[in-house]
Every structure is written in C-alpha cells, then in structure tokens.
C-alpha cells in the first residue's frame, strides 16, 4: 500500500513537472509572438521575400517588437507581408518608417527591420502600409564577392606579367644601376622647382599687369579705359580711311591722265605729242633754253662790270653793307 502511494506521488510529480515545462514553453513562445499581449497589424510589400515565413521576428531599431503574421502573394511580382506589432510601439512607429529585410546573424532566419524615418510623418494606424527599402540578399553579396574575386585574380595575373617584364628588362635594370641617375634626378628636380618658381613669378607679374590695365594705369590701360583716347583713335582711323579713299581717287585720276597722254602721243594730238614726237619743236625748245642760259650769263657779267665802275661802286658797296647788316644775327 505504501509502495503504491509512493508511485502515485512520483507520477503526480512527473505530470506536474511536464505541465510546468509545457506552460513555460507556451509562455516563451507566446512572448516572442505576442500571443498573450495586445497588438495591431501593419503591412509591407516586397518583390522577393528571400525565404521569409510566418513567425519570423520584426525589430524596430534592433528591438524585438513583433512577428510576421502572414505572407501573401498578390501577383507574380509583388508579395504582401502582414506584421503583428506590439501595441506599445504604436506611439513610435510612423507611416514613413522604412522596412528592410535582413538576416538574423550570418546564417540565421530572415527578419524585418523597421528604421525610423524621422521626418515628422503621422503615426501608423492598424492596417497601414509602410515604406520598403530593397535590401541586399546573401545571394547578391556572394555574387558580388565572386565578381570581386575574379577581378582580384585578373589584377594579380596582370601584376605578375608586369613583374616578369620588369625582371626581364635589361634596359630598365641598366638605367636603375646607373650611378649618375640620382644626381641627374636631383638636378632635374632643382630645374623643375626653378621653372615652377619662374612660372609663379610670371603669373604674378601678369596678374599685376592685368590689374593695372583694369585700373587704367599705363599707356595700354589708358587706351583701353579712356573714352577720349578711344574717340581720338576712332577719328584717326576714319581720317586714315578718308586719306586712303582720296589716294585711291588720285591714283585713278593719274591713271586716267596717263592713259590720255598715251592716247594723245599715239594719236598725234595734244602738247605731249608735240613735245615727245615733234623733233623740230624739241630743237626750238633746246635753242630757247640755250639762249636764255647765255643771256643770263651775259647779264651776270654786265652786273659784275657795273660793280667795278667808279660811278656805281659806292652804290654797290652801300647795298652790300646793308645786306650784311640785315643777315647779321641779333
């Protein structure tokens, strides 16, 4: 009888322990899924859920705030997710908060992250649709890593080929082993620095010249800024153009005169033909010039004789003295 009672006690303890374990498990499950608390529903839509299922966690700024209630396919490009959110978060979650998808750890389950928008939008109500942000999936990251790995491999291969070319280049090693190379490089560096300094000086000088010109200093500045000089230059240019026009007219008139003279000479008309073609007239002109020259010479001799005549000698001396006084400097 006592043994039966002990067995009944053991059975009761075992059953009670089982019930406690079951209640604790249900409590933990209900705590994570908000089974025993008040909650409200928010919705979000993605084109790919990457394995997200009902019961996956939802976090707000890293804090557990709810679970995925339902995953529903709307069409071939859109999937709607219903989120069961703790009512305590109703005063924090806004309509423009951003929902993204990530992984709980490196290889964990899919979760939804709600990030505050901080734009002052109204609070989200039951059934509202939140904004989504496309997240980078593990497959995308692996594909990117694969491309990066291929690029690194190609770069390594090209770098290897470059090193082989450098090692096989005797001219390069000969250049690097040249003892005068450092001195030449230093001299080149000094020359480059001097050239840069000279260039800086030239730039400064040019800057000063430009400023002076803008300020109207110097001849060029006066020409470019003084309106009176500009007006005078324009007038001078116009005068030169007018002189050029007159010169063109004079050239045309001389050309016409020359053509007329040529026409008269060829046609036997006018004084030009008489002077150039009539030999008798030329002889008469020459004789006239010769007679004038002889007459002038005789007149000079007569005047010289009169100067030495005793009757007129005094007159010529007075005249010569008067001329000297007139030419004498003051």
pLDDT tens string 89-113:
889 999 999 999 888 876 778 899 9
Distance from first CA to last CA of the chain, Å, rounded? 177
Q: What is the pTM for the complete model shown?
A: 0.38
Percent helix, strand and coil across the chain, each to the nearest 5: 65, 15, 20
Q: Any idea where the domains of the chain sit in the sequence?
A: 32-135, 290-324
Paired tokens of 240: 């030169």
Buried b (16+ CB within 10 A) or exposed e, 168-181: eeeeeeeeeeeeee
Q: How confident is the model at residue 330 (pLDDT cuts 50, 70, 90)?
A: very low
Q: Does residue 129 register a pLDDT over 80?
A: yes
Supply the mean pLDDT for the chain.
76
For the segment 122-131, the average pLDDT, to the nearest whole number, is 91
Q: What is the pLDDT of residues 205-251, one digit of tens each?
A: 787 877 777 776 666 666 666 666 666 667 766 777 776 677 677 76
Q: How confident is the model at residue 38 (pLDDT cuts 50, 70, 90)?
A: confident
Q: Does residue 264 register a pLDDT over 70?
A: no
């Amino acid at each position: 009888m006592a043994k039966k009672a002990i067995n009944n006690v053991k059975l009761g303890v075992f059953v009670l322990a089982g019930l406690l374990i079951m209640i604790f498990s249900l409590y933990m499950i209900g705590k994570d899924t908000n089974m025993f608390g008040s909650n409200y529903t928010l919705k979000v839509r993605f084109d790919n859920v990457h394995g997200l299922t009902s019961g996956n966690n939802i976090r707000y700024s890293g804090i557990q705030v709810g679970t995925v209630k339902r995953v529903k396919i709307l069409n071939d490009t859109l999937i709607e997710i219903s989120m069961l959110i703790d009512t305590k978060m109703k005063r924090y979650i806004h309509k423009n908060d951003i929902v993204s998808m990530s992984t709980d750890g490196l290889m964990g389950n899919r979760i939804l992250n709600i990030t505050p928008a901080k734009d002052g939008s109204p609070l989200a109500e039951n059934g509202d649709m939140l904004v989504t942000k496309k997240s980078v999936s593990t497959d995308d990251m692996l594909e990117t890593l694969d491309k990066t790995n291929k690029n690194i491999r190609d770069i390594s291969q090209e770098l290897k080929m470059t090193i082989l070319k450098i090692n096989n280049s005797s001219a390069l090693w000969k250049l690097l082993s040249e003892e005068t190379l450092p001195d030449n490089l230093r001299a080149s560096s000094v020359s480059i620095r001097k050239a840069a300094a000279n260039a800086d000086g030239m730039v400064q000088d040019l800057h000063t010249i430009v400023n002076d010109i803008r300020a109207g200093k110097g001849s060029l500045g006066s020409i470019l800024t003084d309106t009176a000089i500009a007006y005078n230059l324009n007038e001078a240019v116009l005068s030169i153009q007018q002189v050029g026009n007159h010169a063109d007219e004079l050239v045309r008139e001389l050309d016409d005169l020359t053509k007329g003279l040529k026409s008269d000479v060829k046609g036997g008309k006018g004084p030009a033909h008489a002077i150039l073609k009539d030999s008798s007239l030329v002889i008469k002109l020459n004789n006239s010039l010769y007679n004038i020259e002889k007459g002038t010479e005789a007149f000079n001799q007569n005047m010289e004789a009169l100067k030495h005549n005793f009757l007129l000698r005094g007159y010529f001396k007075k005249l010569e003295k008067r001329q000297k006084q007139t030419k004498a400097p003051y």
